[in-house]
Amino acid sequence: MRLLFVCVGNTCRSQMAEAVAKSMGHEAESAGTNPGLEVARDAIRVTGDIGIDMSGQYPKSVDDVDSSVFDRIISMGCGVECPALPIDDDWGLEDPVGRGKDFYRNTLEEIKQRLLALQ
């Protein structure tokens, strides 16, 4: 399945979702409506803790993504409104920025569970 994960900054949730989805065998990308400068360090750490490598991932703009090639486009729950993107689902996940590694771990676990439900 080809998945696109969308949020505002494309630094945490959507990046973790991209990495986990790839580790499960999906083709995945992520993008943001207002992308940050780099992937959050805690996002990299918690995914690394479970053996998932995020190297090579970086924040991207939704304007640079061809939405027509994806089977599903999923908003991470940041109230993203993308008139150019047909959002299929909103996972409603709280932003872990500034909330510590435990919050990131919990967010990562929720992402894993939701991805398992898609299979």
Mean pLDDT calculated for residue range 65-87: 81
What is residue 46's three-state secondary structure? helix
Mean per-residue pLDDT of the chain: 91
CATH 3.40.50.2300 fits 2-118, yes or no: yes
Helix (H) or strand (E) holding 45: helix 41-49
Rg over CA atoms, the chain: 13
pLDDT in the model for residue 98? 85
pLDDT in the model for residue 88? 87
Q: Band of the pLDDT at 87, cuts 50, 70, 90?
A: confident
Residue 107 near residue 96, CB atoms below 8 Å: yes
pLDDT in the model for residue 6? 93
